[in-house]
Amino acid sequence: MSPPNDRSADAAPFDLKGSLFTLTVLHLRRTDPAAIERHLAEKVAQAPGFFVNVPVVVDCEGLADADAALDLAGLIACLRRHGLVPVGVRNGSEALVAAAQAAGIGVLPEGRGSGRRAEPERAAAAAESERGSGAPSSRGNRLSTHPVRSGQQLYAPDGDLVLLGTVSPGAEVLADGNIHIYGPLRGRALAGAKGNAEARIFCLSLEAELVSIAGRYRVLEQTSSEFWGKPVQIHLADDHLIIELLAR
Amino acid sequence: MAKIIVVTSGKGGVGKTTTSASFATGLALRGHKTVVIDFDVGLRNLDLIMGCERRVVYDFVNVINNEATINQALIKDKHCENLYVLPASQTRDKDALHKEGVARVLDELRQSFDFIVCDSPAGIERGAMMAMYFADEALVVTNPEVSSVRDSDRILGILASKSRRAEQAEEPVKEHLVLSRYAPERVERGDMLSVDDVMEILAIPLLGVIPESPSVLQSSNSGVPVILDEASDAGGAYGDLVARFLGEQRPHRFLSVEKKGFFKRLFGN
């Protein structure tokens, strides 16, 4: 048994921990570089700023056996030209895995089916954003005037999320910045989703299932919180989640 | 132009088919040419509630597959003029429904009807999605308990993001809340969510409150939509609901415990 002092003397300079991230996935259907370039330019033009420095995973599940013909290095260059940061490939052939290793990007575990299951959710979020965002958005800020219903997910990458309606139980709202809810928060709210510890959550009535800032989370129950049903802000101090009443 | 109304809930057993049958009958009684479609392929029930189960020859899936014409499959209701039933197939499953086929059948029905009522199956799978997709308005049937309210909330989210109107960025589907199986005594005792509790969570306009009533079961078993039992509380509540849907102002009834008079207490009902 060594005394505790000994261990702290040569403590590891870092911690290695697993963490979950929401990543943008590029589901490839064809390998024609010109077509990819054209469609990518269109997409980026629709929402300039939205794709800047966004990490993206290339998923080859939708390709036939022809993905050996995919010019991965060319694709990576193309993505970078448009501001995206390719970080890995998924569901690729052996040749493609080798190409990914050569290009210095990661190989993600096969997610057969999972990519497809996530799609409707993303489509829902996209449809929601079309309906909800009438406001001019600076950075990735996002405004929704509709209630966020059970099963819906709303994400504001690179910005704040402002919600004028209720967040229902079973709904999830995420932002890389702050989350402002001008109504009751009854579902899950995750601010600072990419690790911004300065992010905060504000709501008019705290009835949440879970709140999280930069990965520090807490599940809430009615009986366990003196702040239940009250207007609060939630922030991080010394790596602890602090809930406090909003000053009147 | 015909209006397409889906009767939906997410959760099973809350009263979708009962509501579809009474709502469609109520619209027809008021002179609107109405058809009610059973989307619950494989678990056909609407025909039983409407009392036409022995007259089903062709069904919705036959029409989608071009094995029968619409007119061959439509069953004229025996209780009222202006009302037709398009039954589901009992021997198939929900995969028999596809967007193109359903769209074609609805387009054809639009030519000759004022209202098309779609009775959705429970769940959020194919049958329910097909029933919701083309809707202009939705009756969301909810029971005053937490699981039903959460499922209804989920359905409202889907209507707002995955319906045809949402996908084509048209005006959103108009949502109406139907609170069924409501028992004021149990609300007073605190066993059941109140109208206000449910309204606070779902935040959509209340179209009607249907009281828990033995007349609903009696009507279902005898194949007569409960709205035709005008003396019953549930029948009266559905009558009010249809009137409100068509724009009339009617106060909500059956929200509080009925005070029993001296004689009623003595002799019962």
Give the C-alpha separation, A125 to A140, whole Å: 15
Percent of chain B whose pLDDT exceeds 70? 96
The model's pTM: 0.68
Shared domain check, A104 and A153: no
Say yes or no: A147 and A106 in one domain: no
Whether residue B134 is predicted with pLDDT greater than 70 in this model: the reply is yes
Return the number of CB contacts < 8 Å for A and B. 56
pLDDT band at B200 (very low <50, low <70, confident <90, very high): very high
Here the tokens at position A49 are 């700023």
Under the banding of pLDDT at 50, 70 and 90, the label for residue B250 is very high
Chain centroid to Cα B201, Å, comes to 21
* Number of independent structural domains in chain B: 1
ipTM of the complex in this document = 0.72
Q: Is A193 a domain residue? A: yes
User: Nearest by CB to A124, which of B153, B162, B169?
Assistant: B162
Number of domains chain A is built from: 2
Give dist(CA A50, CA A72) in Å, integer.
23
Asked if residue A10 is part of any domain, the answer here is: no
pLDDT average, residue stretch B158-165: 94
Judgement on whether residues A149 and A234 belong to the same structural domain of the protein: yes
Whether residue A49 is contained in a domain is answered as yes
Here the tokens at position A183 are 């109504």
Nearest by CB to residue A152, choosing from B157, B172, B201, is B157
Average pLDDT over residues B183-187: 94
Judgement on whether residues A125 and A54 belong to the same structural domain of the protein: yes
Q: How far apart are CA B66 and CA B238, in angstroms?
A: 35
User: Mean per-residue pLDDT for B257-264?
Assistant: 67
Residue B142 marked as a ligand binder: no
pLDDT computed for residue B144 by the predictor: 96
Give the CA diameter of chain B: 63
Question: Chain A residues with CB inside 8 Å of B151's CB?
Answer: 150
Listed residues A129, A153, A185: the one ending a domain: A129
Q: What's the CA gap between B89 and B102, in Å, rounded?
A: 14
Residue A92 maps to a domain: yes
Distances (CA, A) of A84 to A141, B19, B226: 18, 51, 60
Q: Which residues of B touch A148 (CB under 8 A)?
A: 157
Q: Are A203 and A185 in contact (CB under 8 A)?
A: yes
Contacts of B172 (CB under 8 A, 6+ apart): A131, B159, B160, B165, B166
Residue A9 lies in a domain: no
Residues 6+ apart with CB under 8 A from B170: B164
Residue B259, marked binder: no
Per-residue pLDDT at A230:
94
**Pairwise CA distance, residues A27 & B220, whole Å:** 50
Q: Is the dihedral of CA B29, B33, B38, B39 positive or negative?
A: negative
Residues B88 and B92: their CA atoms lie apart, in Å, by 9
Higher pLDDT, B184 or A15: B184
Look at residue A127 and give its three-state secondary structure: helix
A134 touching B, CB under 8 A?
A: no
Take residue A161 and report the two structure tokens written for it: 């999320």
Domain at A214, CATH number: 2.160.20.70
In this complex, do B158 and A151 lie within 8 Å of one another by their Cβ atoms? yes
Domain boundary among A98, A129, A160: A129
Same domain assignment for residues A123 and A149 = no
Q: Residue A42 falls within a domain, yes or no? A: yes
Tell me the pLDDT band of B241, cut-offs 50, 70 and 90: very high
In the predicted model, what is the mean pLDDT of residues B46-72? 94
When CB atoms are compared, the residue of A120, A166, A169 closest to B150 is A169
Q: So what's the pLDDT on residue A10?
A: 67
pLDDT of the residue at A108: 81
Residue A208 forms part of a structural domain: yes
Q: Rounded distance, CA A145 to CA B123, Å?
A: 27
- Given a contact cutoff of 8 angstroms between Cβ atoms, the answer to whether B142 and B152 are in contact is yes
The sheet carrying A179-185 orders its strands as A142-144, A161-163, A179-185, A201-206, A232-237, A240-245
Q: Do A101 and A70 fall within a single domain?
A: yes
Q: Indicate the average pLDDT of chain B.
A: 94
Distance from CA of A209 to the nearest CA of B (A): 14
For the segment B226-235, the average pLDDT, to the nearest whole number, is 95
- Segment B81-88 mean pLDDT: 96
Q: Is A222 on the interface with B (CB under 8 A)?
A: no
- Whether residue A170 is found in the same domain as residue A91: no
Cα-based distances in Å from B20 to A28, A67, A150, B97, B147:
44, 51, 25, 20, 21
Is a pLDDT exceeding 70 seen at residue B58? yes
Note the pLDDT of residue A111: 59
Can you give the pLDDT at residue A133? Answer: 41
Asked if A38 and A124 sit in the same domain, the reply is yes
A122 at B interface, C-beta within 8 A: no
Residue B268 marked as a ligand binder:
no
| pLDDT recorded at residue A248 | 63
* Domain around B205: 3-266
Give yes or no for residue B132 having a pLDDT over 60. yes
Tell me the CATH number at B201. Answer: 3.40.50.300
pLDDT at A243: 94
User: Average pLDDT for residues B117-125, to the nearest whole number?
Assistant: 96
Interface contact B161-A152, CB threshold 8 A: yes
In the block, residue with structure tokens 């489509």: A123
Of A124, A131, A134, the C-alpha closest to A146 is A131
**Distance in angstroms (rounded) separating the CA atoms of residues B261 and B185:** 16
Residues A34 and A86 in one domain: yes
The DSSP-derived string for B60-83 is HHHHHTTSS-HHHH-EE-SS-TTE
| Alpha carbon distance B85, A121 (integer Å) | 35
Mutate to test the interface with B, among A154, A168, A188 (most CBs of B within 10 A): A168
Q: Mind listing the pLDDT tens digit for each residue in B5-27?
A: 999 999 999 999 999 999 999 99
- Beta strands A179-185 and A201-206: pairing type? parallel
Residue A106, domain extent: 24-129
Helices (H), chain B: 16-29, 46-49, 60-64, 70-73, 99-112, 126-133, 146-162, 164-167, 184-188, 195-202, 214-222, 233-245, 262-267
Q: CA Rg, chain A, in Å?
A: 21
Min Cα separation B171/chain A (Å): 10
Q: Is residue A3 part of a domain?
A: no
pLDDT at B94 over 70: yes
Instruction: Give me the half-sphere count of Cα atoms (radius 13 Å) on the Cβ side of residue A167.
Output: 34
Which residue, A106, A129, A152, sits at the end of a domain? A129
A166 and A223 together in one domain: yes
Q: What radius of gyration, in Å, describes the C-alpha atoms of chain B? A: 18
pLDDT tens, N- to C-terminus, chain A (248 residues): 444 445 555 677 888 877 777 788 888 887 888 888 888 888 888 777 777 888 888 888 777 665 557 788 888 888 888 888 888 888 877 778 888 888 888 888 775 444 433 344 444 444 444 444 434 445 689 999 999 999 899 999 989 999 999 999 999 999 999 999 999 999 999 999 999 999 999 999 999 999 999 999 999 887 777 899 999 999 999 999 999 999 76
CB burial class (10 A; 0-12, 13-18, 19+) of residue A239?
exposed
- Out of B154, B161, B203, whose CB is closest to A150? B154
Whether A115 and A168 share a structural domain: no
Q: Is the pLDDT of residue B104 over 80?
A: yes
Same-domain pairing of A98 and A169: no
